[in-house]
Structure 1
Amino acid sequence: MKISIERARSNIFTNTRPQLDVFGIIYTVLFVCSIVFKGVFLQFQNQINFKPLFSTTNIFMFVASMSFTLVLAALLTVFHTKRRVLFFISNILMSVLLLSDALYLRYYNTIITIPVIYNARYLGPVRESIMSLFRFSDIFYFLDIPVFAVMSFIFSKRAEQNKLPLLKRCVVAAVLMVVAFGSFKIAYSKNDMSEYDNNYIVKNFGIGYFHYYDVKKYLKENYLRDKKLRTEEKNELTSFFEEKNKEKAALSNRFKGIAKGKNLIIVQMEALQHFVINSKMNGREITPNLNKLVKESLYFDNIYVQVAGGNTSDAEFMTNTSLYPAKEGAAYFRFATNEYNTIPKELKKEGYNSYALHAYGPAFWNRTEMYKAIGFDTFISSNDYVMDEYIGWGGWALSDDSFFRQSLEKIDVTKPFYSFFITLSGHHPYSYFEDKQTFDVGKYDRTYFGNYIKAQNYADAALGRFIERLKEMGLYENSLIVIYGDHTGLPKTQAKELLEFLGVDDNKVDWIKLQKIPLLIHCPGVKGETISTTGGQVDIFPMIANMMGFENYYALGKDLLNTEKGYAVLRNGSVLTDDYYYCSEDDTVYDLRSGEVLDKKDYEDEIQKYQKELQISDIILEKDALRKLK
């Protein structure tokens, strides 16, 4: 009897006969629950999904999230016998990815994608902006890691003794796969895929599925797709531009050629939002110099931000090419060798010299290469400036004052020129202005919103001194001057004080109406006028082309001075007009005035017509089509 007992103990501890791996089951279940929890937590923490928790959308999202994690667990089960180690490493990697998603979402309002990850090596200079996005609740992404580490250490020897042979691991994985695909099919059948909006996919299918979808799409578009411009695509482009230019020819020609021969000065101001114009805080104007210019210029007060993953570089891209940003990542990285029709190239035909001026490293956003494709003659970067005053962007960006002053010394103003200024002092996270008392923000002092206001007040003052210098040099009355904001500066996750300051509600319609940038065009001899036609940054090129009298045949934007109806198409497929807002995220049409939900069927054809511009732009970018159309 004693011998039998000893033999049984020997079998248990030497694993001569595989036993049921209870620990392995518990560990796997905890892994699945942990990954699902963190993914769902991200979506609610960053307001992709909303209460009630058990709404139909959330239930199917949870099912889809569970399905993805079961597939991951199945693969880990098959490909490694030491499941604890592989599961533990995978948990850490998923936690890092989810935190990256959260940070990126808070700033760009979309989920991180493969092209963005590929270009992450360029994010070093914005590390302070990134650090400002962290929240205390982000600890939840890593709270389980020590627990799994301890479990793996304590039970590692037992796991080795009870490891399953390959055949049994494959059976377990197959069962998990069947459950996963079966449950996901249920969730998938209840939702439609959105062609444009990443957040829609996350909201309905979970963050895990989105990353699978993104990897699959990236491989398809970059390695598996045919980059040759097919005959039907070429015909589609030809027909589109013929029709668009035919419609354009039938419109009025207001201000046509009025600035022909004049210099072109464009100032792209960092993070300048529309709401600061003509606004006061504690009795003082936030942007007095811009307010004065507005009265003397054509001012467009209904211009929506259209940037995507390229942010500032997307704004530059749209202004100079009148194409939309890339679907994923930044056009400045992905399509820097394409052929483009641009403002510098058109003005070059008229004998202009062109300058791009930005007091930062020339490699940032791949500007050195992209500016060649855009056609700038000269790129003046931080290598060419004396870095004598640091204001903004955490205290290590050349001040706008110094930037403007030095820039005018580097331009040959004796010949017709196009100068494209890109400012920096108003850059997120505005922490430089934390302790500065340059502008009284009252109760908003030392808040994110208050710092933003101070930053824009400083940028406005620097711009005012720049305008005075232009007047002294005789350039103000001999130049077409265009000033606009590149993107918003207050993401929704940090906009509580903004909503309070403006007295608006936190809803889809009120929020989208805040996603506007100011755009003003000053032309000598043209009286000040406010134009409320709905438009976007892609429309800047056509207006400049009309006023300066050069060609813009392949521009996707419209001349807001000569159009019958205004609209703006966002990169995620949302559409805004003078009357309604189509939100691609929830596939719903809202009345822009009342916020009421409208019948989508009444607007579907028009929405699809406007969205067509995104498809055309994508073909041009991904197939380098303009090179092949000529």
Structure 2
Amino acid sequence: MQRVVSVIKKWWPDFNSTVGFFMLSVFLVWLKTYWAYKTNFSLGVQGTLQEFLLFLNPIPTAIILLGIALYFRGRIAYWLMLLINLVQSIWLFANMLYYREFSDFLSLNIMGSGGSVENNLGKSIAGIIHVSDFLVFVDIIVLIVLLLVKVIKVDKTAVQKRFAALVTVFGVLLMFVGYGIASKDRSGLLTRTFDNNYIVKYLGLNEYAAYNIFKTKQTADVKKEAKASDLDKIKKFVDGKKTLENSVYFGKEKGKNVIMFHLESFQQFLIDYKVNDVEVTPNLNAFYHDQNTLAFDNFYNEVGQGKTADAETMLETGLFGTASGSAMVNYGTSNTYQAVPAILDQQGYTTAAFHGDVASFWNRDNTYKSWGYDYFFSKPYFKDADNANYNIGYGMKDKIFLQDSAKYLEQLPQPFYSKIITVTNHYPYDLDKQNISIEKTTTGDKTVDGYVQTARYLDQAFGEFLTWMKKSGLYDNSMIVLYGDHYGISENHPAAIAKLMGKSSVNSYDLANWQKVPFIVHAPGLQGGINHTYGGEIDVMPTILHLLGVSTSNNVQFGQDLLAPNRKQVVPFRNGDWVSAEYMKYGGNYYVTTTGTKIKPKEDPRAKQIIDETQAYVNKMLTYSDDVQTGDLLRFYTPEGFKKVNKKDYSYKKADGLALLKKMDKQSDTTLIDQHNHTSTMSDYVTDAPELGGQPQTIQQAVSSSESSSEETPTDDAAQQ
């Protein structure tokens, strides 16, 4: 026994030495990082090799960074190690919170664009934090206490510089060994992948940070070096994707108003979904199944780190959000675009966007000028918009916001193109008791269970707006477009998702389909039905423009008309995964799209060929789209018949916006108010918002209403007729 003890003492680190304290610090940093990998991130680790790399990858940078302290002596070395530990812990902690909500890691651009969203982040973060998250700081506190009470004593002896240098070299070599092993398992790791999960899984969270900083700088340099010829191969690729025009639908809605409804965080599964036999979204359900509604049930969100901003970018410009950060924040102010608002403005449309929060949110106040919006009605335009009771989460409550928006819509010269951005159905899905009219779900996940309550509120707000449109006559001459911008419940809640889906568990196939969001187009007389084509947000721009009779044949845009008879049914995700009509790649796995059967491409030559060709196509789309954005390549190209946007022509200050409305009123007699003998239609707008004196529907009333109307809801078959 004494021999065993002596052996342990011989090899056990002396924590009272600088080197011993260093080794202890490396171990603790490795331990909490590896714990976070396994419990807080969904990295898709498969096989012994990937498990080994995940186990290994926190160690090299821990050695390199903490090893800096070895070049100093005494207390400075100890406190420097604690400080480095703290910085790494804060970085780890921040990524745990961000990943929990967004299934991605923090980037330099996201941190730099924090000002775009910081006014509302506090409440969201408060809902995301778990008590266990603070475990990443416990070791630092313990080490400080042990030092202060002198259980661990400071070694004042200097570490030899040669030893410190060897430690640094060892850390660097270990990092390269890890990278070499990773490259053999995943070729082109840093050149071909769009998925940050791969970089963290194979290399580590700190290495990801360094790589992201390098890529951000590289991206900034691209614009300086870009030239007109860079667009040639992209133009050739885009021209090769052109589709035929659908003779039934092309130009069918020419000259009509367009009202785009941005349904915040709204997922496809909510359509026809019930809680305790009560429809969550009865108004949207009826609208979805209407015989004059085109509804797409295989429509996916394709957002990346920009989330809502990415959705807007795709819908308005036909370009993907960039691989890191928000394109609206990073490029919206300075880049050249040929966006839908500018295209339609030059076709005689008035263009306007509505958002019940500050204009700077996601840099909209600058980006919308680049896109050519005549008006941007943001928070200052709305009466009592700063009233705390009128706001929740990320802006004004939808019922109040939509009623106030109607006051400006009725003043716009027709035809107009408008985008209305709802926000109440946004994480953390809180709603004051007076506005709740449906029970929560019972998954046991507090992040998830309130989701149906805010979705119900959004549905009611939409129902009130639709009723006003019909009463005022606006409905008869408008095409109404609804889209969900991104998921509301991230895939980091698999147990809750399984319960919502009525399953015992979920796999990558289920999570891929969880990315579906609604895309709905409605107009009186439109030939409707449920369309099963596979598409995504990148396809909205050509679809809408073609319905309005506007050709996109000269545009540099990466989507295809969802109604085109020869469209290529491939939906790229921002991380390089994809869904097609035949196969699906998600989370490193492959499936038959229609059945969910998992396949191994190497065992099926035909499948492998199709999958390889699809992956190459997806990679090219994402790369070329990024090239257009990062190089600002559209400054070198103007489509025939399109006039370049001059940002100086637009001002979104309230005084300027109101003055422009008056000026347009004198020059035009096509507003809704004009059509009502210069009388406002707001008396037709009825809301039950309790903040405005209304009587909202109670949960019991919702149950009764659902039971009485269930027999009246049209079926999918009716919608197809």
- TM superposition score normalised by structure 1: 0.90
- In the TM superposition, 1:200-219 aligns within 5 A as 200-219=198-217
1:41 to 2:35 alignment: yes
**Retained in 1: the 8 A contact 2:70–2:159?**
no
1:263 to 2:257 alignment: yes
CA distance in 2, matches of 1:446, 1:154: 42
CA distance in 2, matches of 1:290, 1:215: 43
Q: Which residue of 1 aligns with 2:225?
A: 228
Q: Which residue of 1 aligns with 2:582?
A: 579
CA distance in 2, matches of 1:58, 1:396: 40
Q: Give how far 1:591 is off.
A: 1.6
2:142 maps to which of 139, 147, 157: 147
CA distance in 2, matches of 1:231, 1:155: 67
Q: 1:509 to 1:80 in 2, by over 3 A?
A: farther
Aligned length: 604
Aligned to 1:132, what secondary structure does the other structure show?
A: helix
1:307 maps to which of 303, 308, 321: 303
Q: Which residue of 1 aligns with 2:510?
A: 510
Aligned to 2:225, what secondary structure does the other structure show?
A: coil
Residue by residue, what CA displacement relative to the aligned partner does 1:50-100 show, whole Å, maximum 9, x if unpaired?
689x83211122223222322223344347872212111111111111111
- In the TM superposition, 1:369-380 aligns within 5 A as 369-380=366-377
Amino acid aligned to 1:479: S
**Retained in 1: the 8 A contact 2:441–2:450?**
no
Further displaced range: 504-513 or 207-216: 207-216
Aligned to 2:204, what secondary structure does the other structure show?
A: helix
Q: Which residue of 1 aligns with 2:156?
A: 161
Q: Which residue of 1 aligns with 2:692?
A: none
2:571 maps to which of 568, 573, 591: 568
Residue by residue, what CA displacement relative to the aligned partner does 1:394-441 show, whole Å, maximum 9, x if unpaired?
567322111111111113244311111000111110122578641134
Residue by residue, what CA displacement relative to the aligned partner does 1:571-628 show, whole Å, maximum 9, x if unpaired?
1011101222113x42x42222133124162220122113311111111101111111
Q: Which residue of 2 aligns with 1:597?
A: 599
Q: Give how far 1:467 is off.
A: 0.6
Q: Which residue of 1 aligns with 2:421?
A: 422
**Retained in 2: the 8 A contact 1:278–1:291?**
yes
CA distance in 2, matches of 1:168, 1:514: 53
Amino acid aligned to 2:545: A
1:403 maps to which of 401, 404, 409: 401
Gaps of 5+ in 1: 1-19
Amino acid aligned to 2:530: T
Q: Give how far 1:443 is off.
A: 4.2
Q: Give how far 1:495 is off.
A: 5.0
Aligned to 1:89, what secondary structure does the other structure show?
A: helix
Q: Which residue of 2 aligns with 1:500?
A: 499
- In the TM superposition, 1:102-113 aligns within 5 A as 102-113=96-107
Q: Which residue of 1 aligns with 2:439?
A: 440
1:185 maps to which of 180, 186, 197: 180
Q: Give how far 1:43 is off.
A: 1.5
Aligned to 1:362, what secondary structure does the other structure show?
A: coil
Q: 1:87 to 1:66 in 2, by over 3 A?
A: same
Q: Which residue of 1 aligns with 2:673?
A: none
Q: 1:155 to 1:212 in 2, by over 3 A?
A: farther
Q: Which residue of 2 aligns with 1:61?
A: 54
**Retained in 2: the 8 A contact 1:196–1:573?**
yes
CA distance in 2, matches of 1:157, 1:515: 52
Further displaced range: 539-548 or 143-152: 143-152
CA distance in 2, matches of 1:171, 1:80: 17
1:74 maps to which of 49, 63, 67: 67
CA distance in 2, matches of 1:447, 1:480: 37
1:126 maps to which of 121, 144, 148: 121
CA distance in 2, matches of 1:130, 1:447: 14
Residue by residue, what CA displacement relative to the aligned partner does 1:456-511 show, whole Å, maximum 9, x if unpaired?
11100110110111111111110111011111111123353332132133210011
- TM superposition score normalised by structure 2: 0.79
Gaps of 5+ in 2: 1-13, 602-606, 639-721
Superposed CA RMSD in Å reads 2.6
**Retained in 1: the 8 A contact 2:63–2:167?**
no
**Retained in 2: the 8 A contact 1:433–1:451?**
no
Q: Which residue of 1 aligns with 2:344?
A: 347
CA distance in 2, matches of 1:450, 1:65: 35
Q: Which residue of 2 aligns with 1:542?
A: 542
Q: 1:476 to 1:226 in 2, by over 3 A?
A: closer
Aligned to 1:227, what secondary structure does the other structure show?
A: helix
1:99 maps to which of 93, 96, 111: 93
Q: Which residue of 2 aligns with 1:453?
A: 452
Amino acid aligned to 2:405: S
Further displaced range: 592-601 or 570-579: 592-601
**Retained in 1: the 8 A contact 2:298–2:516?**
yes
